[in-house]
Structure formats: structure tokens, C-alpha cells
Structure 1
Amino acid sequence: MEALNPENVLKFVNLVNNLKHSSRRGWALIDVENHEHIAGHMYAMGMMTFLLGDDSNLDRFKCLQLALVHDLAESIVGDITPHDNVPEDRKHALEDKAMKEITSHLGEDIGNMIYKLYKEYEAKETPEAIFVKDLG
């Protein structure tokens, strides 16, 4: 595994830490008091993956990884909702570009792993991705 550049790691951390302060717009738009933030949403989804039983056919660790990366793009593009009238293909293009930016700070090994997890989640191409999408 390649060594990570500390300055780039800090850029990554600064970007994703934005999610601690970024509201989930759907709740904010309808004036829900004390609504959750994006990082809180991702945390809750991650915690729910621990509830998978040992007899589950799903890979619990993969589900946790998917839950933690699924909304990272929102640290750059924000939480785009249907109320924003952004066409679905445009939303996906913006998020994909953001994920490439975010993961570019992590070197090829880790960056590619996170990007691939994001693409797996978006494509709902595995049972784990479908499960995590349903958690959201």
C-alpha cells in the first residue's frame, strides 16, 4: 500500500468533516426542528449494519463501508433533493465529479477503493448495496 501524503489526508478530512455541519435538506426544507445532519445520517446507517445477524448472507463489513461512503459527495455538492429540480443525470454527474475530487486526496489504493464502493452503492449492484440503499 502506498504512503499517504499528510497534507492530502488533511484536505480529505476537512472536506468530509463538512458533513458534520451540513443539514439533510429534505428535513430543513420542511422546517423540522433539530433535524439530522448528513454525517449523523451516515453514522446511523453505519450503526444499523451491526444489527445484521451472524446468519445473514450479507457481508456486514462491506455494508458498513458502503454506509460510510454513500453520501461523501455531499461534502462538496450538498444534499440535492427533488425540490432542487436538478435532473437525475446531472445530480449523478455532479456527485461523481465530487467523489473523484474527494478520493483524489487519498492516493490510488484507498481512493480507488472508496470510489468503487460509492459506484457499487449507486449502481445497487450487490445485495449489500441494495440493503444499505434500503437503510437510507
Structure 2
Amino acid sequence: MILEKEIQFILALDALKKVDRRNFNLEDSRRENTAEHSWQIVVFAQVLLPYAKNTDQIDLLRVIRMLSIHDVVEIEAGDTFIFDESGMTGKYERELQAAKNTFGILDEPLNSDFLNLWMEFEAEETPDAIFACAVDRIMPFLLNVYGSSKSWTEAGVKVAQVENVVGTAVKKASTELGEAFDILLKKAFEEGKLVD
């Protein structure tokens, strides 16, 4: 059948709706799922683009493509909480295999296109990937700052961890976003949402 593999791939992505993340939605009624997170960061990238360093070097369509597919690996590998140091061990290898399996549903050249975008995002070296990574990291941060920070408090997340994991990525991508991050990190600490 024509488009059989493309249909199989998009139906496989439906499983993202069932992958619960550690982060809670803003109203704290439940954990968000990966599909919701992916949608939100795709929209947020469009809003934040004017604040990116090297805006003239960023291809927004490539950023959106990266953000829309980078968490597809969670269907097979699950969501790894970014502050879970033990969970980070072997994360890249698990997710690379999951990327190869999921993108492998598709024929070339799309299979390789998606895999290469995923690897570029993970490497965080190009202007597109640096910006995409910052958007991906700032969104859960905002949900914790403006929500009750359940995912932080239940894991005992420390200020230094957030500064290192989120702040570093955000400041690499945007001066203004970095300034906002510093203000919001201080606010979260003063409200007892993070430990010292």
C-alpha cells in the first residue's frame, strides 16, 4: 500500500501520549506526557526565536523539526529525569538504539534525516541545536517555578543542579532568557521549591 510506512510511523508516535514524564502539568493535577511536552516546546521555540543568540544563523524550521522528533525515543527508552544522575548512565546509548528502531520504520532518506536531526540535537553544537536544547530545558523549569514544583521537591533537586543542567543550556542560547532564568531560579529558591 502507498504510504504504508509513513502511516505505521505516525501511528507508532501515538504512544508518546502514554509516556508520562516526571514533570507535572501547571495545575499539578497529573504528570505531563511526552506528546504534550513536544507540542509545547515547538510553540515556545517560535515565541523565543527573537531572543536567541545568532538569530540570523538559526533555521526555525530545522529547530521545530528537531523539537518535534527528539523525544520520540521515549516510546522505547522511557523518559529519563534530567536530574537523575544514575538514570543518565547509558542514556545516550539507550536512546540512540530507540531512535534507530523508531526512525527505522521509515524509508530513506527520511529515516536518516530524522536520525541525524536527533543526533545533532543531542550534540548541542550547532546554533539550531543549542537553541532547541535551551527551549527543551526551559519549559519544565517554568512549569516547576510557576507550579508547585512537585517533580523537584519529590526528588530533592538542588539549586546547583538546576543551574548546571538548565541554566548552562539556556545561557548558551540566549542572554535575555539567561537573565530571566536567574530571576526565576532565585524566586523558586526563595519560595522553597529548591534546596540549597
TM-score, reference length from structure 2: 0.59
Q: Which letter maps to 2:33?
A: H
- Structure 1 unaligned runs (5+)? none
Structure 1 residues 17 and 62: alpha-carbon distance in aligned structure 2, compared to 1, 3 A threshold: same
Deviations 1:58-105 (A, max 9, x none): 1111110111011110011110224483343x1111100000001111
Partner of 1:113: 113
Q: Which letter maps to 2:9?
A: F
1: CA distance, partners of 2:20 / 2:87: 18
Instruction: Please tell me whether the aligned partners of residues 15 and 76 of structure 1 are also in contact (alpha carbons under 8 angstroms).
Output: no
- Bigger Rg, structure 1 or 2: 2
1: CA distance, partners of 2:120 / 2:107: 19
Mapping 1:1-136, distance limit 5 Å: 6=4, 8-27=5-24, 32-51=28-47, 52-53=49-50, 56-57=55-56, 58-81=58-81, 82-83=83-84, 85-88=86-89, 90-136=90-136
Higher relative contact order (CA 8 A, sep 6+): 1
TM-score, reference length from structure 1: 0.82
> Aligned-pair RMSD on alpha carbons?
2.4
Q: Stretches of 4+ moved more than 6 A in 1?
A: none
- Judging by fraction of residues, say which structure has more strand: 2
2: CA distance, partners of 1:9 / 1:91: 27
Structure 1 residues 48 and 87: alpha-carbon distance in aligned structure 2, compared to 1, 3 A threshold: closer
Identical pairs, percent: 24
Tell me the SS of whatever aligns to 2:80.
coil
